[in-house]
Amino acid sequence: MAFEYLNVNALLNRFNAHQQHMERYIGFLGTVDFVFETDQVLSKPLPPRYWQSKVLLMAQADETQNGLYEITETGLWQRIEGELEVGNVTALRGEPSKFFKLVDLNANKQRWQAFNLI
């Protein structure tokens, strides 16, 4: 009796390639740990619970400060630089249906909008 073998590594590689293709297609930027929908003072360090996390600022008075930030181990804000495009999406960690989409990008001003997948 002949056995057919399933090449699990090839199957996993194919799934991974499809996932990467979809992430590039929709512009998925990964997950963030926290989202601030109120104006934050970037010169003021954040409390320890936010240290070493990734955050999204959505409602800065100066729209050039909106965007993705890495919070250092001392609570300081560090902007995450990268090429963004309108339509990029990020998800809130721990919330399976909470996403944020970049809806406007003009002269380094970013406007993000929340949306839920049901």
Chain segment 42-51, per-residue pLDDT in tens: 999 999 999 9
User: 91: helix, coil or strand?
Assistant: strand
Count of CA atoms in the C-beta half-sphere (13 A) of 111: 5
Domain extents in the chain:
28-116
pLDDT of 2 over the 90 cut: no
User: Could you read off the pLDDT of 5-49 as tens digits, one per residue?
Assistant: 667 777 777 766 666 555 555 677 889 999 999 999 999 999 999
Cα–Cα distance for residue pair 111/118, rounded to 1 Å: 23
- β-sheet bridge partners, residue 102: 112
User: Could you read off the pLDDT of 57-97 as tens digits, one per residue?
Assistant: 999 999 999 999 999 999 999 999 888 888 888 999 988 88
Q: Which pair of tokens denotes residue 23?
A: 């992430």
Instruction: Give the single-character DSSP code of 108.
Output: T
